[in-house]
A = this chain, B = another copy of it.
Amino acid sequence: MSEPRRSVRDLLRVPAGGTGFDLGAIHPRTTPGLPRAGVVGTDPKAWARARVQEIGVELGRQQEMLFASAKVDPASGRRLLLVLQAMDAGGKDGTIRRVAGTMNPLGLQIRSFGRPTEKELSHHFLWRIRRALPTPGYVGVFNRSHYEDVLVPRVESLVPEHTWRARYDEINEFEQELADGGVTLLKVFLHISYDEQLERLRSRLDDPEKHWKYEPADVDTRARWADYQAAYAEALARCSTSGSPWFVVPANRKWYRDWAVASLLRETFAGMHLTYPAPRFDVDRERRRLLDMRPEPAEV
Contact = CB atoms under 8 A, between A and B. Distances in A.
Given A198-B290, A205-B286, A211-B278, 8 more contacts: A106-B143, A201-B290, A202-B291, A219-B293, A223-B297, A225-B297, A226-B298, A227-B300
A223 B290 CA distance: 10
A224 interface: yes
A192 interface: no
Nearest to A281: B216
Chain copies in the assembled complex: 2
A296 B286 CA distance: 67
B289 A219 contact: yes
A222 interface: yes
A212 B101 contact: no
A20 interface: no
Given A212-B72, A225-B297, A226-B299, A287 B219 contact: no
Contacts of A300: 224, 226-227
Contacts of A279: 208, 211-212, 214
Interface stretch (A4-12, A42-50, A92-100, A254-262): A92-100
A297 B226 contact: yes
A209 interface: yes
